[in-house]
Amino acid sequence: MRMITEVLRLHHSGLSIKQISKSLGCSRGAVSEYISRAKAAGLPWPLPIEHDDAWLENRLFPPMPPARRRPQPDFVYMHAELKKKGVTLMQLWSEYREAHPDGYGLTQFCDLYARFAKDLNLVMRQDHKAGDKAFSDFAGKTIPIVIDRKTGEVRMAHLFVCTLGASSFTFAELFWDESVESWSNGHAAAFSYFDGCPRIVVPDNPKPVVTKACPYEPDVNPSFAQMAAHYNIAIMPARVRKPKDKAKVEAAVGLATRWIIAVLRNRTFFSLAEARVAVRDLLEKLNDRPFQKIPGSRRSLYEIVDRPFLKPLPTVPYEFAQFKKASVHIDYHVEYDKNFYSVPYQFRGEVVEVRATSTTIEIFRKGNRIAIHPRSIAQHKAFTVREHRPKSHQQFGDWTPERILEWAGKIGPSAARVVESIMSKHEFPEQGYRSCMGILRLGKKFGDARLEAACARALVIRGFSYKSIKSILDSNLDQRPLPEKPHQLSIVHTNIRGASAFVANEEKNNANTSDDRNDENTEALRNGEGPGAANGTEGGS
């Protein structure tokens, strides 16, 4: 309006349209248009003192007469359709114009939808395709569970949350910890609840999931990657300290904290299963809660948008597997979870990968499986496949404790005692057999007599191992006299009494006893008792 007022002032000052245009820096057409509108409106010059911009605008640009109302697009339907792959505003406008030829043009159509989308909350404004992504994280709050009714011991349970990007359909489950096993099983349970798999999973960036964080190429935990391979999904961890990368699950965690954890804050649970049932009931209510700004709920939107586009679940159920790199020992066994599992002896000294499930131990070398064993619940056990041994060791595997003791007994009693001690301290026979066989074979190099003498010295110093006995033989200590029992060190201190104190106390006690007896005899003589009293009577007579 200030520009129009200046145009009218210069026009009434006698300047031409060309001069006004050059002076104000606007087009000649705009100057001519403003002057024509002022003449048509009959504006006086100078303008009234009480005029303002609104008065001038109404005189120059009077409101248009109300036009026929055009058909309004269904913005809620459009918002849901745009979440589907390949659907664009241009396509929706074409369908709208086919149904309403006299409807809005493309520009107005897009502007009206932009105004509608602007009024939605932040979560609904995110552009997520149907069935494309799922976001996951653990809630910061925990739920206490009493695990011992007698002592009242409490353990905290952690809430895992996973939500679909397009519909915000949410899953929640309790776990004892936030380990890689809980992360993997949580996603497996979420996919089962969704009755399908998304194309991409965007988890948080914890150590159990991402072994080495990187903005561009993060290293994913092998166990978590194996879960993703089972469901044929891609893992795209959120960047460190970038919560907007997983804003969907951040909002879902907030809702789960308010509508699940906060609701259960005054309840007492005595098992994880009991707490999980309560969480599942509240989860169903959460997904059925209606939206505030658009019709429907998370469940209804999931049925329309996400569910038709989710990939089907695998036919084989998921089973969590732990991966670990291990070296094959010289006895061609691999240690895992305090047990020993054999591999073919040709791989001794190699680095292999162990894949452990709740029931099976699989051992791989360069992607090829070289051994498989049932997983043992007990610990400190060795599990050996006969075919994994070389032929000479297969015969060794037929040895029994009685046979080894018989061989040691032929060398001498000391050797037998050493062998018996070694086998008794090992809970799995193979380890004990190996040490015993090594000791007994020293007799071939040093002779049975020297081996027996070395075993006798080993019994004194309690060196029950192959290395100790071999060291004795290499150092010729078996040919020296056996060490005597070490003297006990005497400690001198003012508060510690020596043996002389106890001797002095004993003599004092004996003297006191003798004095007491003399006093008793004297008293008896005075009373005319005892043998002395009788003699005194006879002597007096």
Q: In what order do the strands lie in the sheet with 333-336?
A: 333-336, 339-342, 382-383
Q: What does the pLDDT look like over 91-146, one tens digit per residue?
A: 899 999 998 888 888 998 999 888 888 766 544 445 678 888 999 999 989 999 98
Question: b vs e for 257-266, b when ≥16 Cβ sit within 10 Å of the residue's Cβ?
Answer: eebbbeebee
Rounded-to-integer distance, Cα 253 and Cα 247, Å: 10
- Of 11-20, 58-67, 404-413, 504-513, where does mean pLDDT reach its minimum? 504-513
Q: Does domain 133-309 correspond to CATH entry 3.30.420.10? A: yes
Between 528 and 444, the more confident residue is 444
Q: What pLDDT is recorded for position 365?
A: 92
Q: Which pLDDT score, from 0 to 100, does residue 203 have?
A: 92
> Which of these ranges, 31-40, 269-278, 480-489, has the smallest mean pLDDT?
480-489
Looking at residue 540, its pLDDT comes to 40
- Mean pLDDT (whole number) for 268-291: 94
Give the Å distances, CA to CA, from 491 to 495, 499, 500, 503, 505.
Answer: 10, 12, 14, 18, 20
Residue 205 has pLDDT above 80, yes or no: yes
Q: Which tokens go with 10?
A: 């210069």
Instruction: Judge whether residue 304 has pLDDT over 80.
Output: yes
Angle between helices 448-461 and 413-425 (to 10 degrees): 50
H-helix or E-strand spanning residue 39: helix 28-41
Mean pLDDT of the chain: 83
CATH number belonging to the domain at 322-389, selected among 3.15.10, 2.40.50, 3.30.960, 3.40.50? 2.40.50
Average pLDDT of the residues in 344-354: 92
Quickly state the pLDDT bin for 361 (edges 50, 70, 90): very high
Mean pLDDT, range 452-473, rounded to an integer: 90
User: What's the pLDDT tens digit per position in 151-177?
Assistant: 889 999 999 999 998 889 999 999 999
How many Å apart are CA 419 and CA 411, to the nearest integer?
11
If you average pLDDT over residues 319-323, what whole number do you get?
92
Task: Name residue, tokens 């609840």.
Answer: 193
Q: Judging by DSSP bridges, how do beta strands 200-203 and 133-148 pair with one another?
A: parallel
Q: For the segment 478-509, what is each residue's pLDDT rounded down to a tens digit? A: 888 887 655 455 555 566 666 666 655 555 56
Cα 44 to Cα 59: distance, rounded to the nearest angstrom: 11
What is the rounded CA–CA span in Å between residue 150 and residue 153? 8
The pLDDT assigned to 185 comes to 95
Structure tokens at 116: 């509608």
Rounded to whole angstroms, the Cα distance separating 202 from 133 reads: 7
Sheet of strand 368-374: strand arrangement: 322-327, 351-356, 360-365, 368-374
Tokens matching residue 329: 């020992």
Whole-number pLDDT of residue 541: 33
Torsion angles phi and psi, residue 134, rounded to 5:
-130, 145
> How would DSSP label each residue in 9-32?
HHHHTT--HHHHHHHHT--HHHHH
Q: Where are the domains of the chain?
A: 2-60, 75-119, 133-309, 322-389, 399-479
pLDDT at 357: 92
pLDDT band at 539 (very low <50, low <70, confident <90, very high): very low
In this prediction, residue 297 has a pLDDT band, given cuts at 50, 70 and 90, of very high
- pTM value is 0.54
pLDDT at 433 over 90: no
User: What is the percentage of the chain residues whose pLDDT exceeds 90?
Assistant: 36
Torsion, Cα of 371, 372, 375, 378 (10° steps): -40
3-state SS of 294-341? CCCEHHHHHHHHHHHHCECCCCCCCCCCEEEEEECCCCCEEEECCEEE
Which residues, 6+ apart, have CB-to-CB distance to 355 below 8 Å? 321, 322, 323, 361, 362, 363, 364
Q: What sections of 62-121 are H helices per DSSP?
A: 75-81, 89-99, 106-118
Tokens of 467: 């290395």
Per the CB < 8 A criterion, the answer to whether 293 and 76 are in contact is: no
Work out the percent of the chain whose per-residue pLDDT is above 70: 84
